[in-house]
Amino acid sequence: MTELYATIIFLFVLFALLGSSVWVGLALVGVAWVGMTLFTSRPPGDAMITTIWTGASSWTLTALPLFIWMGEILYRTRLSEDMFRGLSPWMRGLPGGLLHTNIAGCTLFAAVSGSSAATLTTVGKMSIPELRQRGYPEYMIIGTLAGAATLGLMIPPSLTLIVYGVTINESITKLFMAGVIPGLVLAGLFMTYIVGWYYVKKDQRPEPSQAMPLKQMLYESRFLLPVISLVIAVIGSMYFGWATATEAASVGVVGALILAAAQGSLNWKTFTQSLMGATRTSAMVALILMGAAFLSLSMGFTGLPRALAGWIGEQNLSPLVLIAALTVFYVILGMFLDGISSVVLTMAIVEPMIRQAGIDVIWFGIFIVVVVEMAQVTPPIGFNLFVLQGMTKHEIGYIAKTALPMVGLMLVMVGILVVWPELATWLPENTK
C-alpha cells in the first residue's frame, strides 16, 4: 500500500506542477523533494546537492553540448542550399521526384545534428520554397518534411540517445551505432511512401524536371562533399574505435567551424549566436537531467520502481506484450511532453521493467527513440508542428494531418524492430 500511496502522491504533484507551467526540470525536482520529505528521514537538501552534482558532472554528458553546438554552427551556414543543389540531380529521376530531397536532406543533416528541430529548420528553409515553386502538393511537402525531420532523433549524433545513455549508464557510442541502420530503414520507409503517392495520385504529379547529363550530376555532387566528410569523420571515428562519443563531438565542432569558415559563413556574430544557442539548449537539457536524477533517487527510497518491476514479473507478460503497452504509453505521453522529458521522466520506473523482462537495453533505446519521434509530430505539443507552423503559416491541425501517414510508418518501424531486433543490435556488437 505504501507504493500505491507514493505513486498517487508523485503523480499528483507532478501533474500539478506541470499544469502550472513550471519548467519540466524544476517540476521533477519539486516532485522528488516532496517524495524525500514524506517517505524518508534523509534531509532532501543534502541528497539533492549530492545527486545533482553527480549527475551533472558526468564526463559522458560532455558530448551533449558539443553536438548541439555543432548543429548550431551548421544551421548558420549555407549547408541547406548546398545539400539541395547536390541532392536534387540524383533525386529528380526517382518516382516522386524532388520530394525525396526532404528525406535525403534530413537523413544527411541528421548525421551532423542531434536535433529534430534543427534538422527541420535547416532542410525546410531551402526545400519548402523550391518544391512549392516546382508545383509539388503542399500536403506532401509539409508531411514528408515533418516526418523526415524526426530522423534527427535517431541517426547519430542523437541528443535523445545521449540522454537515454546517461540516464541508464549505457555506452553512448554503442547507442549511436545502434541508431544507424534503423534510421536508414525508416528513411527508406518514408521514401517508399513518396513512391506510392507518385503512382496512386498521378493527377497530382508536377511537371517532370529536365534530365541532367551524368557529368553535370557528378559535378553538382561536389556540394555534398563537405557534409559527407564531416559525417564520416564523426561517425567513422566512433565506429572504428578511434574516438569516444565526446571526442567525436569535438571533432565535429572543429569540422563544422572549418566548414563554416570555408563557406564564408563564419564571423563573430554567427560564432557567438551558435555558442549562445548551444548554451541555452544544453542548460535546458541539463536541468531536466538533474531533476530526473533527483527524482530517481527519491523513487528509489520509496521502493516504487522495484515494486513495479516485481509486479510486472508476477504478471508473466511476454516481452512483446510489454513493448506493445509501452508503445501506447509513450505515444500518449508524447502528446503532452517533449521527447527528452518523456525519457528522463520514465526511466526510473521503466528500466527495471525492461531488465526484468529480459529486453536488451540497447535495442530498447532505439525503440524509445522511434516512439518519441511520433511525439514530435502529434498534437497538442508536437514540437515539429510548431516549427513548421512558423515556417509555413499553416494551422497546427492541417500540419498534423499531413504528417499522419509518417506517424503510421513509425509504428510500422516499431513492428520491424520487434521482428528483426538485429537491425539495432548488429552494428553495436561489431563496433570496435
Per-residue cell: 275: 555558442
Residue 145's identity, in one-letter code, is L
* Rounded Cα distance, 177 and 173, in Å: 6
* Rounded Cα distance, 57 and 112, in Å: 25
* Rounded Cα distance, 293 and 289, in Å: 6
* Rounded Cα distance, 306 and 87, in Å: 51
Residue located via cell numbers 557510442: 173
The closest of 201, 181, 120, 153 to 368, measured between CA atoms, is: 153
CB 179 within 8 A of CB 152: no
pTM for this structure?
Answer: 0.81
Q: Give pLDDT, residue 311.
A: 65
Which residues, other chains included, contact 242 with Cβ-Cβ below 8 Å and sequence gap of 6+?
236
Q: What pLDDT tens digit does each residue of the chain (432 aa) get?
A: 455 666 677 667 766 776 676 776 777 778 778 777 777 777 777 777 777 777 666 666 777 788 888 878 877 777 767 777 788 888 877 888 888 888 988 888 888 776 777 788 778 877 888 888 888 898 999 999 988 888 887 888 888 888 888 888 888 888 988 999 999 999 999 999 999 998 988 888 777 766 677 778 787 888 888 888 888 888 888 877 788 878 888 888 898 888 888 888 888 888 898 888 888 877 877 777 777 777 767 766 766 666 665 666 666 778 888 888 888 888 877 776 667 777 877 787 788 888 878 889 999 999 998 888 887 787 766 777 777 887 788 887 888 888 889 989 999 999 999 999 999 999 888 766
Neighbours of 212 (CB within 10 A): 16
Neighbours of 421 (CB within 10 A): 17
| Radius of gyration, alpha carbons of the chain | 22
* Angle CA 87–90–91, to nearest 5: 80
* Rounded Cα distance, 248 and 76, in Å: 21
* Rounded Cα distance, 292 and 341, in Å: 9
Domain boundaries, the chain: 2-429
* Rounded Cα distance, 282 and 388, in Å: 23
* Angle CA 99–92–126, to nearest 5: 50
Per-residue cell: 31: 516532485
Q: Give pLDDT, residue 6.
A: 64
